[in-house]
């Protein structure tokens, strides 16, 4: 692999990056300096810098229906900007949402219809914001007992989100009702592959969740990918997991909370357990991370969703062949890992772009953002 391209513009550690789907090569990055830097991969230097906050920026996302609109989380606040309406040295937001009681974590996200925004915070709460009405639609609470680190809307279930936290719980919510519909504790011994020789012994904290975009569903199916604190990347068939919910008592049915039943698939699995659920572990035994996995993303380049990219505290970025993960019968485990990229620092965040080159963007614990080409 050729040497990484280096994007300079930040004055402190880079925290997040997002890439335009509509305009290949356009990338926005954020950092602890409170700035958002905009890069065009066709050009050498940063295009412009938005001075958003005096506090570190934890997360970025585009409005899914209009990429001129960007959401930026800093502290307990989410700010909304229209980049076409910005003037030099004037970074006044269109809107500002001050609904979270604790600091927002490394993910704010917009649903596919651009009608709702979700922000997860250190108190374990998730705010669902009605973008059109400019108000809180629902607060999701009493699910996580620790920091909620990640949230994703489920595109094929328009009233549901999935969240993960540092309590090792993965929770599916019906946000129209404001309550959990499924809780899985990845920290239970039978839910983990961490007992395998060589796997790190950190708790199975959920650091990042990724659900395929609508245009990837035909290829990937209705899956969820989870980056865990023990270095494991879980690939979960969500529909079979949700179908495993079986009412055991009227109390649990009313509360909508269902504890996880026993389920542990070997890395070479892909077969369903007794309840019909399908899980797949990408762990140390097949070339996975040896320290906490911090983030995951699907590839936007080439055949969208063909690759799954993960980054970790082991200073590695791993590119997995997602099609082979989902059809393990066609190949051996040693062919699941497509590419290994060695870094000098831990990975904070990464994203992919829909370009043929310069298509993997990595924020590590330095102020310089790295860009690689994956083919």
Whether 15 has a pLDDT exceeding 90, the answer reads yes
Q: Rounded mean pLDDT of 254-266?
A: 35
In 3D, which of 322, 318, 326 has the Cα closest to residue 303? 322
Q: Residue 85 has what pLDDT? A: 83
In 3D, which of 180, 174, 58 has the Cα closest to residue 119? 58
Q: Residue 269 has what pLDDT? A: 41
Domains and CATH numbers, the chain: 5-188+199-243+285-372 (2.130.10.10)
Q: 3-state DSSP call for residue 333? A: helix
| Band of pLDDT at residue 332, cut at 50, 70 and 90 | low
| Band of pLDDT at residue 327, cut at 50, 70 and 90 | confident
DSSP 47: -
Q: Residue 245 has what pLDDT? A: 56
Do residues 228 and 292 make contact, with C-beta atoms less than 8 angstroms apart?
A: yes
| Band of pLDDT at residue 295, cut at 50, 70 and 90 | very high
How many angstroms separate the CA atoms of 17 and 149, rounded?
A: 16
119 compared with 244, residue with greater pLDDT: 119
Percent of the chain with pLDDT over 70: 84
Q: Residue 6 has what pLDDT? A: 97
Whether 266 has a pLDDT exceeding 70, the answer reads no
Whether 253 has a pLDDT exceeding 70, the answer reads no
DSSP 216: G
DSSP H or E segment with residue 239:
helix 238-243
Whether 107 has a pLDDT exceeding 70, the answer reads yes
Whether 264 has a pLDDT exceeding 60, the answer reads no
Q: Residue 280 has what pLDDT? A: 87
pLDDT in tens, 29-42: 999 999 999 999 99
Whether 342 has a pLDDT exceeding 90, the answer reads yes
CB-neighbour burial class of residue 93 (10 A; exposed 0-12, middle 13-18, buried 19+): middle
Q: Residue 278 has what pLDDT? A: 75
Whether 248 has a pLDDT exceeding 80, the answer reads no
* Residue 99 vs residues 73, 79, 123, 367: alpha-carbon distances, Å: 12, 11, 12, 29
pLDDT in tens, 124-161: 999 999 999 999 999 999 999 999 999 999 999 999 99
Enumerate the β-bridge partners of residue 152: 162
> Is 0.85 topped by the overall pTM?
yes
Q: Rounded mean pLDDT of 243-253?
A: 45
* Residue 78 vs residues 110, 148, 210, 274: alpha-carbon distances, Å: 12, 16, 21, 43
What tokens were used for 282?
Answer: 């990408």
Q: Residue 190 has what pLDDT? A: 61
Whether 104 has a pLDDT exceeding 90, the answer reads yes
Sheet holding 169-174, edge to edge: 148-153, 160-165, 169-174, 179-185
Whether 199 has a pLDDT exceeding 70, the answer reads no
How many angstroms separate the CA atoms of 123 and 172, rounded?
A: 18
Give 40's Cβ-side CA count (13 Å radius): 5
Q: Rounded mean pLDDT of 23-31?
A: 95
Q: 3-state DSSP call for residue 309? A: strand
pLDDT in tens, 55-85: 999 999 999 999 999 999 999 999 999 988 8
Q: What is the DSSP string of 310-323?
A: EEETTSEEEEEEHH
Enumerate the β-bridge partners of residue 317: 311, 341
Task: Find the range with the poorest average confidence among 88-102, 222-236, 347-361.
Answer: 88-102
| Band of pLDDT at residue 252, cut at 50, 70 and 90 | very low
How many angstroms separate the CA atoms of 42 and 20, rounded?
A: 14
In 3D, which of 314, 94, 308, 99 has the Cα closest to residue 216? 308
Q: Rounded mean pLDDT of 176-187?
A: 94
Do residues 91 and 79 make contact, with C-beta atoms less than 8 angstroms apart?
A: no
The mean of the pLDDT values for the chain is 87
225 compared with 332, residue with greater pLDDT: 225
DSSP 87: B
DSSP 343: -
Task: Find the range with the poorest average confidence among 166-175, 194-203, 236-245, 308-317.
Answer: 194-203
Whether 246 has a pLDDT exceeding 50, the answer reads no
Name 117's Cβ contacts closer than 8 Å, sequence gap at least 6: 71, 78, 97, 108, 109, 110, 111, 128, 129, 131
CB-neighbour burial class of residue 285 (10 A; exposed 0-12, middle 13-18, buried 19+): middle
């Amino acid at each position: 692999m050729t040497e990484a391209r280096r994007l300079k513009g930040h004055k402190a550690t880079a925290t997040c990056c997002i890439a335009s789907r509509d305009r290949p090569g356009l990338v926005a990055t954020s950092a602890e300096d409170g700035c958002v830097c905009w890069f065009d991969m066709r050009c050498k230097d940063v295009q412009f810098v938005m001075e958003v906050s005096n506090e570190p920026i934890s997360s970025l996302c585009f409005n899914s229906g209009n990429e001129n609109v960007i959401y930026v989380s800093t502290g307990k606040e989410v700010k909304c900007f229209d980049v076409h309406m910005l003037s030099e040295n004037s970074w006044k937001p269109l809107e500002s949402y001050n609904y979270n009681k604790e600091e927002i974590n490394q993910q704010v996200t917009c649903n596919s219809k651009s009608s709702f925004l979700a922000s997860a915070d250190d108190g374990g709460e998730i705010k669902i914001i009605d973008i059109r009405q400019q108000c809180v639609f629902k607060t999701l609470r009493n699910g996580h007992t620790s920091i909620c680190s990640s949230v994703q809307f489920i595109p094929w279930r328009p009233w549901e989100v999935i969240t993960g936290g540092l309590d090792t719980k993965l929770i599916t919510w019906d946000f129209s009702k404001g309550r959990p519909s499924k809780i899985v504790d990845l920290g239970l011994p039978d839910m983990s592959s961490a007992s395998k020789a060589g796997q790190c012994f950190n708790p199975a904290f959920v650091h990042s969740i990724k659900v395929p975009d609508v245009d990837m569903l035909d290829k990937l199916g209705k899956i969820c990918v989870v980056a865990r604190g023990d270095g494991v990347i879980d690939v979960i068939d969500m529909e079979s997991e949700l179908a495993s919910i079986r009412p055991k008592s009227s109390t649990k049915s009313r509360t909508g909370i269902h504890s996880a039943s026993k389920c542990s698939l070997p890395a070479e699995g892909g077969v369903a357990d007794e309840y019909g659920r399908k899980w797949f572990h990408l762990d140390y035994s097949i070339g996975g991370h040896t320290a906490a996995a911090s983030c995951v993303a699907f590839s936007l380049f080439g055949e969208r969703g063909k690759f799954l990219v993960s980054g970790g505290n082991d200073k590695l970025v791993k590119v997995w062949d997602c099609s082979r993960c989902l059809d393990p019968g066609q190949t051996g485990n040693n062919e699941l890992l497509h590419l290994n990229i060695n870094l000098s620092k831990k990975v904070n965040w990464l994203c992919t772009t829909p370009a043929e080159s310069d298509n993997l963007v990595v924020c590590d614990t330095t102020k310089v953002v790295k860009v690689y080409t994956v083919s």
